[in-house]
Structure 1
Amino acid sequence: MNPIKVMVVEDDAKIADLHRRFTEKVEGFEVVAIAQGLDDAKEMIELFEPDLILLDLYFPEGTSLDMLREIRTKGLETDVILITAAREMGPLKEALRGGVFDYIIKPVILERFKACLTKFREYYSRLHNSETLEQKDVDNMRHPSAAASTPPLSVDLPKGIDPLTLKKVKNVFKDPDTVSGLSAENVGELIGASRSTTRRYLEYLVSIGFIYPDLVYGTVGRPERRYFRN
């Protein structure tokens, strides 16, 4: 399969280059264009016909939601991942209604970014390599994380990862109360394991895209590394 063509639309040159480098760390993707404004982006979409656009939300000339709607109105075969510092629910709702594949909040974490592109690659492959559909195919395309985020409880697990302990750690993140994130110490207390052991399992779940880490800054003291369910 040919590389998935990606266009980065971001007005900050340094961030645009960062997203380019992040993208190139994931197998199967090729950045074909970088646009630093919405007008340039519209021209480049027609010129390069990208399969995927990494789209910032706010630009000096306005938001990119109008461009997202225009992409959908024209019926272009281009998917969009919105990358933004906006934390309000309004833009998220509009983006989801506009059919974005994913919504990533800045600052972008490499592990979360890789997990997102891996899911997109699976989705893209199924969409372009299947001639007929079964229900499971549709489910896998709509929810590609289901298979990727569920590691086999077998010898395929890395050394030092016990399947029963792994299951306990995963179950912790199924609780709605964990939406604000958990530290390794929090999870260790819940499953009865040491902080170092728990961190090993958490970092494994990060590597397969089941959870993602972020630094949470409190009112005092150093930032704390917390883990969130994808």
Structure 2
Amino acid sequence: MFDVLVVDDDFMVAEIHRRFVDRTPDFATVGVARTGAQALEAVATLSPDLVLLDVHLPDMSGLDVMRRLRADRNPVEIIMITAARELDTVTEALHGGAADYLIKPFEFPQLQAKLTAFKERSLTLQSHAGVDQSLVDSLFGSAGQRQAQQRLPKGLSPETGTLVLDAVRSKAELSAAECAELVGISRVSARRYLEHYLETGALEIRLQYGGAGRPERRYRAT
């Protein structure tokens, strides 16, 4: 079970995020903080595994909270959850050691996918005594996969592409229809993204044969 601290100055938003966390298997909310000072105190007293951290807080920014935690050598993982879309904010979060970044508003499947990806990374690190290049690539994302993400065909967006990949990684495998439901896009659009990532090698496919007609295409992360 992964313990999560939710940090958001809006009471209703924090409550929604808490409910999302508690709906996700293997995750539980252990506290909710409304300010940066409360967040720092809660991390010290509750020792959560993960902090869902808003950027805009009344007393200091979430980035300041993250900097203080890192200055104290606190290893708690952080996912930034914020409406901030400025490139410098995203860059600072990345350089500060945030594990992920999720832009508001979002629905439950998007947060669930982020949490599931976090869980998989954590379990991977716990289960390996040493590392090789394939493990490093799976944790950091290979250069080839990043370049493929940047070279999406016309009509496909990197933001939606990230959601599609997160959805696939949150499941053992899924169909285009299941992916569409998780991400909130049409089945046709989901199929375009999935086939693109299949071509780049980020995904692989399994054909599931049933009754009459074509076999169902089931996608999973490589």
Q: Same fold (TM over 0.5)?
A: yes
**Residues 17-26 or 127-136, more deviating:** 127-136
Contact 2:20 2:108 in 1 (8 A): yes
Kindly indicate whether residue 184 of structure 2 is the aligned counterpart of residue 213 of structure 1.
yes
Of all paired residues, the percent bearing the same amino acid is 31
Question: Residues 47-79 of structure 1, C-alpha deviation per residue, up to 9 Å, x if partnerless?
Answer: 011110000110122311111111222221211
Q: Matched residues in 1 for 2:43 and 2:106: separation?
A: 24
CA shift for structure 1 position 205 = 2.1
- Per the alignment, in what secondary structure is the counterpart of residue 17 of structure 2? helix
- Residue 101 of structure 2 corresponds to which residue in structure 1? 103
Letter paired with 1:68: M
Alignment counterpart, residue 75 of structure 1, candidates 73, 76, 81 = 73
Which runs of structure 1 show a deviation greater than 3 angstroms over 4 or more consecutive aligned residues? 200-203, 226-230
Match for residue 63 of structure 2 among 62, 65, 70: 65
Counterpart Cα distance in 1 of 2:97 and 2:3:
19
What's the C-alpha RMSD, in Å, of the aligned pairs? 3.1
Paired residue secondary structure (1:57): coil
Task: Return closer, same or farther for 1:206/1:6 CA change in 2, 3 Å cut-off.
Answer: farther
Is the 8 Å Cα contact of residues 37 and 59 (structure 2) preserved in structure 1? no
Distance across 2 between alignment mates of 1:91 and 1:24 = 28
Retained in 2: the 8 A contact 1:65–1:94?
yes
Residue 25 to residue 143, structure 1, CA distance change in 2 (3 Å)? farther
Q: Which amino acid aligns with 1:30?
A: A
**TM-score, with length taken from structure 2:** 0.68
User: C-alpha separation between the residues in 1 aligned to 2:104 and 2:117?
Assistant: 19
Inter-CA distance 181–98: structure 2 relative to 1 (3 Å threshold): closer
Task: Name which of 15, 18, 25 aligns with 1:17.
Answer: 15
CA contact (8 A) 2:50 2:79 kept: yes
C-alpha separation in 2, matches of 1:72 and 1:103: 17
- In structure 2, relative to structure 1, the CA distance for the partners of 1:181 and 1:57 (3 Å cut) is closer
1: CA distance between counterparts of 2:50 and 2:159? 29
Alignment TM-score, normalising by the size of structure 1? 0.66
**How far did 1:176 drift?**
5.7
Q: Report SS of the residue matched to 2:4.
A: strand
Figure out how many residues of one structure are paired with residues of the other and give that number.
172
Q: The residue matched to 1:126 in structure 2 has which SS?
A: helix
CA distance in 1, matches of 2:75, 2:51: 11
> C-alpha separation between the residues in 1 aligned to 2:89 and 2:159?
22
Structure 1 residues 93 and 176: CA distance shift in structure 2, 3 A: farther
Q: Which whole-Å CA distance do the structure 2 matches of 1:127 and 1:89 have between them?
A: 30
- In 1, Cα distance between equivalents of 2:45 and 2:10: 22
1:55-204 to 2 correspondence within 5 Å?
55-143=53-141, 174-175=152-153, 177-179=155-157, 202-204=176-178
Instruction: Name the CA shift for 1:58/1:127 in 2 (closer, same or farther; >3 Å).
Output: same
Distance 2:159 2:4 in 1: 31
Distance 1:82 1:6 in 2: 13
**Counterpart in the other structure of 1:220:** none
Q: Which residues of structure 1 form unaligned runs of 5+?
A: 145-170, 183-199, 215-225
Aligned pairs for 1:46-61 within 5 A: 46-61=44-59
